[in-house]
Amino acid sequence: MLTRLMTSGNWIPAIIGWVFIMAGFSVIYLYLKPLTPVKKCITFFASYIFIYIITVPFIFNIFRDKPFFHFQYLLFVMLGVIIGGLLIESYAKLYRIITERKIMEKTLEASESKYRLIAENTSDLIVVMDKKQSISYFSPSHEQVLGYEGQNWKTLN
């Protein structure tokens, strides 16, 4: 953009247009906080069109006789906004999923350690079997209550 401005010499319109857009977006943003991202995107784009129509063809008199050029430009900007919005939304969704998964893993880990502590320190006999009806876990209380070690129980299975 800097190279384009240096070669064209349109510094004043570009800077003033940018200031109008940023000032407009800053004011609009204060009112858009409670809205959903899609509504924010639509509102920002509508305000961009409004600011563009006022500043570029009318105030700066740039390509005033070529409305199709401005229409194409606004469609191109809209396409960029839509693609950018989709990318941002997909990234935000992915970030939420990863964050929820990490929280769930921490909760599961805490729950597993809590129940492991209970299972290892109780006098109840706990046996875990898989779908094939083979025993995959004996609680340490088997040794204390019945006198057999864990290795002996696995051979009896």
104 pLDDT tier (thresholds 50, 70, 90): very high
Distance CA 98, CA 104 (A): 10
Question: Is 49 within 8 Å of 81 (Cβ atoms)?
Answer: no
Reported as a single tens digit per residue, the pLDDT across 118-130 is: 767 777 777 778 8
Reported as a single tens digit per residue, the pLDDT across 11-39 is: 777 777 788 888 888 888 888 888 887 78
Percent with pLDDT over 90 in the chain: 11
Question: Is 134 within 8 Å of 127 (Cβ atoms)?
Answer: no
Distance CA 47, CA 78 (A): 12
Distance CA 80, CA 25 (A): 17
Q: pTM to 2 decimals?
A: 0.52
DSSP string, 45-76: HHHHHHHHHIIIIIIS--STT-HHHHHHHHHH
